[in-house]
Structure 1
Amino acid sequence: MRRVLFALVLSLAACGTIAPIPTDTFYRLTVPAPRPLAKPWCAGPIEVESLQAGGLLKDRAIVEADSRGVALRQLPYHFWVDSPEHLIAHELVAYLRALRAAPIVLAGQAESAAYEVRGRVLRFERQRSGEHVRARVGLELVLVERRQGRVLLAREYDESSDVATTSVADAVAALGTGVGAAFGDFAADSDRLLSGAAAPDR
């Protein structure tokens, strides 16, 4: 009987050393604000459509890739506050507003829009190889002249940068910087394209 009680005491003591179950952590996407343009692209509104994404990128769990970028997994306990397609579209609207690309930048339908921006999220992941971590972003962004439905620009923007630590929070910050860099390249391409173009009639 004493042996049973002793074993029970040891068992209860061992239970006291079990690490607590991790709690879920949710992350916002933060994109650096751009420097405003000297001249807007048009006098009418710009519409940003909902971005498209597939597979794991439709979920909120943060995606981690292996060293070759082939095998993917969802990190347990680490989530975006919304799906990447919605987060990035929201940040694109905010970016174009801060850029002053147009007097009005709207998310969703805008019947009087001069231009619309469409796109897809192709890659949005933390890539890890041992202690080496990179943040990788891939976006396809398309600029359309609304009146005639002409595609003026369609390009894939890929950004990749080293992350100083293995912290998920640091990877999240680097992903935000990568998205901002992709937006910046898209804005530069659009500005070069539209700076010499006549504004669409509205």
Structure 2
Amino acid sequence: MNLPRTALLALVLGLTGCASGPGIPETTYFRLPPAADIAAGPTRFDAPLVVDAFFADGVHADQSLLYGLDAEGERLRAYHYQMWVDPPTRLLQRRLIRALDQSEVAPLVTARLPPKTRQYRLQMRIEAFERLPRGENAWAVRVALRARLDGSDAGRPLLEKDYRRELEVAGSSVRESVRMLGAAVDQIYAELVADLRALPHG
């Protein structure tokens, strides 16, 4: 069957419109807000400090923002159109490297060094990084990280500790929750830096 060119064009456009679907929201990508400053202090370590990419299991390794279906966060869902610009395992690693470098806790803070180089190694696990409901149009955010610091020898860790923050959000938007997630992370990092500085020299 031969169709006039204009009719064929109209048919193609109509099918394209059906395929895209009406009302499908566009994906929004979020960055964490600028990090809070950490005051420089005395250098604690006598060798470089390597911060590994963060560990995360299940949904916490995904790029989608997470939200709770209950105030305790026992049931989580992932937003389909609200995403981080990078997976949290990388976002939080880069933010921590900047914080530790700014604190001057070590002569060098980096993501990797040759294996035979004398170094301290910091590993972090994401156990919570989500927004949680607090009644009608009210939200809080929860961040929980577990830190482990090892020295060059294969002995017991120099530090192994859980860090946790839960902050109320002033507003109901995802953007406000992202801002408070950044604040919670910065509070944890400040506590971690203080713990690193308090370690005995040896």
1:52 partner letter:
F
Q: CA deviation at 1:68?
A: 2.8
1:22 partner letter:
P
Q: Which one of the candidate residues 156, 166, 189 is aligned to 1:183? A: 189
Q: Which one of the candidate residues 157, 170, 182 is aligned to 2:163? A: 157
Matched residue pairs, number? 178
Q: Which residue of 2 aligns with 1:193?
A: 199
Structure 2: how far apart are the matches of 1:119 and 1:21? 37
Determine helix, strand or coil for the equivalent of 1:181.
Answer: helix
Q: Which residue of 2 aligns with 1:107?
A: 111
Structure 2: how far apart are the matches of 1:142 and 1:168? 31
2:66 partner letter:
V
Q: CA deviation at 1:103?
A: 1.8
1:21 partner letter:
I
Mark the runs of 5 or more structure 1 residues left unpaired by the alignment: 1-17
Q: CA deviation at 1:149?
A: 4.2
Structure 2: how far apart are the matches of 1:120 and 1:167? 27
Q: CA deviation at 1:174?
A: 0.5
Q: Which residue of 1 aligns with 2:57?
A: 54
* Percent of paired sites with the same residue: 28
Coordinate RMSD, CA, aligned: 1.8
Q: Does 1:127 align with 2:126?
A: no
Q: CA deviation at 1:112?
A: 2.5
Determine helix, strand or coil for the equivalent of 1:150.
Answer: coil
Contact 1:44 1:112 survives alignment (8 Å) = no
Alignment of structure 1 residues 1-202 onto 2, 5 Å:
20-30=23-33, 31-37=35-41, 39-66=42-69, 67-110=71-114, 111-129=116-134, 130-194=136-200, 197-198=201-202
The TM-score normalised by the length of structure 2 is 0.82
Structure 1: how far apart are the matches of 2:68 and 2:103? 32
